[in-house]
Amino acid sequence: MKLSSHIVFASLLLNGFVLFAQDDETAAKFAPDWARDAIWYQIFPERFRNGDPKNDPTRESLEWPITPSEKWHVTRWTGDWYARDDWETEQDKPNDPDPAPNFYRHGVFDRRYGGDLQGVLDKLDYLADLGINAIYFNPLFYSRSLHKYDGNTYHHIDPFFGPDPRSDLALMEKETADPKTWQWTAADKLFLEIVKQAHKRGMHVILDGVFNHTGRDFFAFKDLRINQQNSPYKDWYVITSFDDPATKRNEFDYKGWWGHKTLPVFAANADRTDMAPGPKAYIFEATKRWMQPNGDVSAGIDGWRLDVADERPPKFWADWNDLVRTLNPNAYTTAEIWKDASKFIADCHFSACMNYHAFAIPLKGYLIDNRIAPSQLAQLLDERRNAFPRPVQYVMQNLTDSHDTDRLASMIVNRDLATYKDAGAISFNENNDAHFANYKIRKPDARERAIQRLVVLFQMTYVGAPMIYYGDEAGMWGGHDPDCRMPMVWPDMKFDPQAIDPRGIPHEPDDNNFDAELFRFYKNAITLRRAQSVFDRGDYASLASDDNAGTFAFLRSNKKQKVVVAFNRSEKPQTLKIPIAFESPVIVFASNEGVLEAKSDGQTMQVTMPALTGAVIANAAKDP
């Protein structure tokens, strides 16, 4: 049949619903029912939307006294990402033969664009229109960095995300480590208003908890730097040596996360089975604050994403997760784990994890890199998914990219540079000699967008909760950090063409404005998933894989409904033979326009598909 649009469904699919039998009661306790229905959207706050220019960061608010002169200012939101302000070029060496490292070494990490909570509040309806019902915020707590993974506190939202930074900072100065002294700042209150408004729209909200390390201005570490071994916080961190006042040299030293001294690491207890008592107690108090603000669980957040979770002792996480469920039995907690996390999740009582290992990496190998065969994909998906109890499988965060990878679009553009086992294509800005010269920073072409739509369709129809990184639906591209953290492109803004290559390579200007057509596809794919419980609650089975043709198909089913999802990853049309008997097969959704056909001989179904196309096939006749 000829499809005139990406989506034709509604009346053709049955509104079936069935609860599956829990095969692991323990896992089910930590996997809230709402998380099976979640469509996650990840927000990197500093780059999402500047809703209130009056609260923009100042030069004095940055991580450390930066070397650029007083020329520093907030960077223009709609500019070419690779264009540099005068203050960014001041440190460049004259006649430097290698300009690209200057872009990444001098200025880009000192940039601030002014993204804030008002910007998020202003765009909740945009997210609702897209179909989002769950938001994951990258760190919001007070910090001097752009990324906020070096928090100075866990009990306050960054003042520069709120409406009155100066007053908030003054109020915070009056506090101590005692929770009885903690106040609600203007930024804190605005965040609680976001939670309230999100809940009104049927959205759940989780925060990034960075409980492994802090910034150097964290109140405990700040006191420790001043008072050394006399500090009441001397056991909070991994200290390797204190300063000897009898010498001119400062001998104070400590463990930084992965060697980064800007990120001092919290200590474990004496036998290393738990976190040290001091920071553990503080984290528990901060957790209570955000989950039950003023004692009201309905006003609190719905859960947490936990940074580098496997670097904390399991007992700490088990105790903390138990506290979370005491505060809110329907809370969701997800760990950042890139490897097999099945045992870790069980031991530590997490709901799920960011699903790099069991979803993003296999999917990338098949649809993006085109380097693993469909039969291998089927095997990997089954092995890695079934390592988790069934309740966990359905609440995993099925992402394809994040703030820690290349953007999905750029993974596709640079698929020839990566191998299947890479979590993402290695970016040229990591100065990897093997990839530096060949990395493409351009906008995806039509063929590459077709692959992106394939990936999104797989996300929306597979087992687990899909997660979108902000801006992917708007057409954004970019390499690894910092390029994956460009300012969000909005339909009400006009962006400069992206015309500059920081390596000095000639670059055809790319239009960098909001992609309305791609947005519509994401919205339609999300609508498809949310309309049918078979996708978020139904059974899964691999049906067919043809390694020579590059095709793959799986079945989603429940007691009332069966749906086949088929993919043609090859560069030419293919006909898939699928061992299932649909009396009247109908293609109800496709990732590409073109001639698609599904027919049945009573025992098998044949689906003819154009190149680089995915399709959802339902039975127009009522299932028995």
Q: Which of 110, 310, 336, 501 is catalytic?
A: 336
Q: Does the annotation mark 336 as catalytic?
A: yes
Contact (CB, 8 A) for 432 and 442: no
User: In the block, which residue shows the tokens 């005692």?
Assistant: 178
Q: Compute φ and ψ for 599, nearest 5 degrees.
A: -145, 160
Nearest to 496 by CA among 512, 516, 507, 476: 512
User: What DSSP assignment string belongs to 45-106?
Assistant: GGGT----GGG---GGGSSS--SS-TT--PPPTTS-TT---HHHHTTPPTT-S-HHHHHHHT
CA proximity to 534, closest of 510, 504, 565? 565
Q: Are 406 and 369 in contact (CB under 8 A)?
A: no
33: which residues sit within 8 A by CB, 6+ positions away? 330
> Which residue of the set 110, 208, 302, 307 is catalytic?
307
**Is 299 buried (19+), middle (13-18) or exposed (0-12) by CB count in 10 A?**
middle
Tokens 């899964």 belong to residue? 540
Backbone angles phi, psi at 56, to 5 degrees: -55, 145
Q: What is the identity of the amino acid at 33?
A: D
DSSP 274-319: SB-HHHHHHHHHHHHHHHSGGG-GGGS--EEEETTGGGS-HHHHHH
Active site residues: 307, 336
